Amino acid sequence: VCLGNICRSPAAEAVFKQKIKDRNLENVFAVDSEGTGGWHVGNLPDRRMRETALARGIELTSRSRQIEENDLYQFDHILVMDKDNLTAVKSLLKDESNSVNSKIKLILSYSKNSQFDEVPDPYYGGQKGFDKVLDLLNEAIDGLIESLID
């Protein structure tokens, strides 16, 4: 989950899907991406992110959608890109003691080597920002998959 669901979260979705496809695990997981804001609902991911990912052999084809409270119960893991979105997602829960809170985490918590705890938003930056996002997500998703199949 990111802010607008046009850069970071669709990239994470596509990287995860590519990695589970490579491991023949496509039928094991349901994967989706969402944004906390609804500005881009129905849109493809940002052109710059699509091009950057495609250069790495990863195709971003999802359409933006906004997270809803029901999603917190539908999915086993809700992974967010930064602390602001973590707070926004948790605010969807009416009861703060809800056990669903335990499955809402920062995606980089699965990274073994990153010195970052948040995936920076590349939207207003240059090309290096999109590359950095994919690098961070690539490593974190490896850790995520390892944790899920162990």
Active-site annotation holds for 2: yes
> Which listed residue (2, 7, 50, 82) is catalytic?
2
Q: Is the pTM of this model over 0.85?
A: yes
The Cα 129–Cα 46 span in angstroms is 13
> Which listed residue (7, 8, 50, 82) is catalytic?
8
Position 120 confidence tier, pLDDT thresholds 50, 70, 90: very high
Active-site annotation holds for 121: yes
Tens of pLDDT, residue by residue over 88-109, are 999 998 877 777 877 999 999 9
Q: How many CB atoms lie under 10 A from the CB of residue 126?
A: 9
Active-site annotation holds for 84: no
Tens of pLDDT, residue by residue over 50-93, are 999 999 999 999 999 999 999 999 999 999 999 999 999 999 98
